[in-house]
Amino acid sequence: MGCDKKDRAAQFNFNNIERALDERLWPRTPAGEYVQYAGRGTWESVIVETVEANRIFFCFSGLWWGLGEGPSGFGELRSTVSLHDDQAEYVSREFTNKKCIVSMHYYPDKLEVKQTGSASDCGFGHNVTADGTFQRIRSSAKCWPEQK
């Protein structure tokens, strides 16, 4: 059983969460965890770790819900990128001959992400995209274990 964005109880609870987060004073560093609702009670996330003053390591975990009982597409991305004026950009041709560009703009309470290129260009599963506004929920988090 999932969570419907139009469900009044879900809207009430989400508004309570947003109000509590609005009152929080976030540090100026982009390090932390950011989430975006993916549907059916699940969340996509971007975790950011500071590597040095002008470099960050990030990991994105996304999914897309089709018509079945489980997600129809998954996508993960992790990389170290330069950070300048609260903006970072990942660029790759690893998966197709077309560019995958994931542009990130950090704010104290959220992360705006714009993806250029298709899901396959970025190595994601069917219909997965990193696009959207991700709300900050933590100021410290670690990416899942793997070699950086």
Average pLDDT over residues 40-63: 92
Q: Cβ distance 47 to 33 under 8 Å?
A: yes
Query: Does residue 19 lie within any of the structural domains?
Result: yes
- Its domain, for residue 90, covers 8-138
Q: Domain holding 95: CATH number?
A: 2.40.128
Q: What's the average model confidence in pLDDT over 38-50?
A: 91
Check residue 4 and give its pLDDT.
Answer: 63
**Three-class SS of residue 21?**
helix
Q: What is the pLDDT of residue 14?
A: 77
Is 145 within the bounds of a domain? Answer: no
Q: Which residue has the tokens 């929080």?
A: 24
Task: For 108-128, write each residue's pLDDT tens digit.
Answer: 899 999 999 999 999 998 899
What gap in Å lies between CA 14 and CA 11, rounded to an integer? 5
pLDDT for 27 equals 77
The answer to the question of residue 34 being in a domain is yes
Q: Is residue 144 part of a domain?
A: no
Q: How many domains does the chain have?
A: 1
Flag whether pLDDT at 2 surpasses 60: no
φ and ψ at residue 140, rounded to 5 degrees: -150, 125
Q: Is residue 128 included in any domain, yes or no? A: yes
Beta strands in 1-148 (DSSP E): 32-39, 42-52, 55-65, 71-84, 87-92, 100-106, 110-116, 132-138
**Does 3 reside within a domain?**
no
Residues in the chain: 148
Share of the chain above pLDDT 70, in %: 92
